[in-house]
Structure 1
Amino acid sequence: MSWIREGELNFFQKLTASVLKEGPIPKHVAFIMDGNRRFAQKNNLEREEGHMQGFNKLAETLRWCKHLNIQEVTVYAFSIENFKRTKDEVEGLMELARQKFVRLLEEMDKLESHGVCIRVLGDLNMLPLDLQQLIAESVVRTRNHNKCFLNVCFAYTSRHEIANAIREMAWGVEKGLIRPSDVSEALLSECLYTNNSPNPDLLIRTSGEVRLSDFLLWQTSHSCVVFQSVLWPEYSFWNFCQAIIEYQLNHSSIQRARELHQERQALAQLEAERACVAQQMQHHGNGKPADTQRQQEALQQYIVCREERVQDFLEALKHKRDSFFKDLCSQVSHA
């Protein structure tokens, strides 16, 4: 089954989509695609067939997103916790992933025509090398596409992602790119796997479970979260519309919460910068208080220097991550 499913909506779907687009439409939707195994059990199918049906539903859902002008989708494809499943099921999921990324590479012309950028987020070192290489080639070859974005969270949990972001900042301090005082909530956000994406506006979990299962915990603190009882392979256009309506009903309060958080974050950053400057001036001024003008000039200079340090660090981090994918691709070309 193709990653990109062509075709128009039917009349009633088109009419509903037109009505929905009169209200606020989420720019970024995340899915916890839960219920594949229960769907297989319910329909007396093998587990592998349940996972296959789940992938087919993803392709269909991406088509709905396209018609609703939703530019970015993030999906929870494989949790690190899933490695604890039986050996046969894990190997089956790895083989399914191989097949789908091979198919994706075969459909590169279609992905280019639609401008689809594929990002795979997670600790890829946990995966078999050949699958890492397929993923890397998919990411590198679609990197410059910018019309819509599909983020596939594979070998991922949010706690692992946050711990990795902290390690990245520690690496920056160790290399002398940033100072310990540069570490902040905003910088941690920039070190997450999702740093290239805005936070999701809407998170949907299917199958009736009402927990996030360690998915995008940091990024969804101000997102609309919708839990739906339908199993993922049975997910319908109308289920999706219901979730979007829930988002629209709560849009104003979500936006207010986001704006308030941004204001508080900016204020906390400014207070931290003032404290650093005051400490520096006290140290260099033998304990004598500085006048207001000198304090303001020192603050502005400190902010400029900090922003330059942070930017240099983020560029170094991007280079390190890009090199990881390029190195995997070069292994394929030399094989």
Structure 2
Amino acid sequence: MSLFSWLQTQLSLLLLAVLAAGPVPRHVAFEMDGNRRYARKSGKRVEEGHTAGFYALRRVLEICMRLKVGCVTVYAFSIENFNRSPAEVDALMKLAEEKLREISRHGALLDKYGVRLNVLGNKSLLPPAVQAAVEEAEGLTRHNNKAVLNLCMPYTSRHEITTAVESVVRHGLFSDGANVSKINEQTIDDHLMTSLVGTPPLDIFIRTSGVKRLSGFMQWQCCEHTQIQMIDTYWPDFGLSDLVPILLDYQRKVWTMGRTSAKAS
């Protein structure tokens, strides 16, 4: 490592330590968009863009762990993505299988920071080999209790909400007319996939690539208190320089709310 690279690393670590001394979000969600456009811009194959996206995930997750963020949720694969070309879907499934095994093995990133992995979504749609990798990865990290990574694949908010309502019905809350009033926002919220694995409320939602919509990700969880950020950077290029302004904005809002509450009391 060159002296410049060493100094750059040390400055980044110092910056993270300073940020971690202030209010830190409990839960950050990333809609990791722009892998294909990044590949086209760089003259690379689509598969290489998705691979670069995985390395960005690893880089950003490590930043979040150094900041002591308790939960990170990422949108890895939409149910609608199965409509893409068979070649791209096959490449994505192979990448998912490979990286699930890689990221959860002993000594890897999740093990290093004590991160428990949850894969959320309609997992029955995944190829058997990927389902096996999911089960193995979740099992290997089940003992970790310092932080959580929710990997949403294959996922859409509509499916998550529908599944939550179906779960409420199965649990007998809608077994007769007298119980209709028990179906409310809280009962549905309690049965969401994210709630069932103990995910805290969503503090920050970040979508990369300049697209300004939620696109079926965490639509229920994005509430009036969620800080929603849409940035132009393609996901494979996303890093600390993109995250710092977002975190500073979050901390400013937390401090402002604290002062407002203190004056009101």
Tell me, yes or no, whether TM beats 0.5. Answer: yes
Could you tell me which runs of 5 or more consecutive residues in structure 1 were left unpaired when the two chains were aligned: 1-6, 257-335
Counting only pairs closer than 5 Å after superposition, residues 89-128 of structure 1 correspond to structure 2 as 89-105=88-104, 107-110=105-108, 111-128=110-127
Counting only pairs closer than 5 Å after superposition, residues 1-335 of structure 1 correspond to structure 2 as 10-105=9-104, 107-110=105-108, 111-173=110-172, 179-195=179-195, 196-221=198-223, 222-251=225-254
Q: Cα distance 1:12–1:131, how it changes in 2: closer, same or farther (>3 A)?
A: same
DSSP 3-state at the match of 2:216: coil
- Give the partner amino acid of 2:94: E
1 CA distance for matches of 2:80 and 2:256? 33
The 8 Å contact of residues 25 and 204 in structure 2, kept in 1 or not, is answered as yes
The 8 Å contact of residues 173 and 180 in structure 1, kept in 2 or not, is answered as no
Following TM superposition, by how much is the alpha carbon of 1:245 offset from its aligned partner in structure 2, in angstroms?
Answer: 1.4
- Give the partner amino acid of 1:163: T
May I ask how many residue pairs the two structures share in their alignment? 249
DSSP 3-state at the match of 1:66: helix
DSSP 3-state at the match of 2:77: strand
> Greater share of helix residues, 1 or 2?
1
2 CA distance for matches of 1:253 and 1:182? 36
1 CA distance for matches of 2:128 and 2:257? 41
DSSP 3-state at the match of 1:108: coil
| Two-structure CA RMSD over aligned residues (Å) | 2.5
Deviations 1:280-306 (A, max 9, x none): xxxxxxxxxxxxxxxxxxxxxxxxxxx
DSSP 3-state at the match of 2:170: helix
Larger radius of gyration: 1
| TM-score under structure 2 length normalisation | 0.86
- Give the partner amino acid of 1:102: R
Deviations 1:312-333 (A, max 9, x none): xxxxxxxxxxxxxxxxxxxxxx
The 8 Å contact of residues 32 and 76 in structure 1, kept in 2 or not, is answered as yes
- Residue 313 (structure 1) aligns with: none
| TM-score under structure 1 length normalisation | 0.69
Following TM superposition, by how much is the alpha carbon of 1:145 offset from its aligned partner in structure 2, in angstroms?
Answer: 1.4
The 8 Å contact of residues 223 and 254 in structure 1, kept in 2 or not, is answered as no
- Residue 3 (structure 1) aligns with: none
- Give the partner amino acid of 2:240: F
Following TM superposition, by how much is the alpha carbon of 1:137 offset from its aligned partner in structure 2, in angstroms?
Answer: 2.0
Deviations 1:52-107 (A, max 9, x none): 000001111111112211121100000111111111111111111111122235x2
- Residue 262 (structure 2) aligns with: none
- Give the partner amino acid of 2:146: K
DSSP 3-state at the match of 1:204: strand
- Give the partner amino acid of 2:213: R
2 CA distance for matches of 1:102 and 1:15? 31
Q: Percent identity?
A: 38
Deviates more, 1:33-42 or 1:108-117: 108-117
DSSP 3-state at the match of 1:194: helix
- Give the partner amino acid of 1:85: R
- Give the partner amino acid of 2:69: I
The 8 Å contact of residues 173 and 180 in structure 2, kept in 1 or not, is answered as no
Following TM superposition, by how much is the alpha carbon of 1:20 offset from its aligned partner in structure 2, in angstroms?
Answer: 2.2
DSSP 3-state at the match of 2:119: strand
The 8 Å contact of residues 121 and 153 in structure 1, kept in 2 or not, is answered as yes
Q: Cα distance 1:73–1:245, how it changes in 2: closer, same or farther (>3 A)?
A: same
1 CA distance for matches of 2:19 and 2:103? 31
The 8 Å contact of residues 17 and 67 in structure 1, kept in 2 or not, is answered as yes
- Give the partner amino acid of 1:14: L
Q: Cα distance 1:62–1:9, how it changes in 2: closer, same or farther (>3 A)?
A: farther
The 8 Å contact of residues 59 and 239 in structure 2, kept in 1 or not, is answered as no
2 CA distance for matches of 1:59 and 1:17? 16
Q: Cα distance 1:247–1:175, how it changes in 2: closer, same or farther (>3 A)?
A: closer
DSSP 3-state at the match of 1:213: coil
Deviations 1:154-179 (A, max 9, x none): 01000110011011111111897x94
Could you tell me which runs of 5 or more consecutive residues in structure 2 were left unpaired when the two chains were aligned: 1-5, 260-265
- Give the partner amino acid of 1:209: V
- Residue 263 (structure 1) aligns with: none
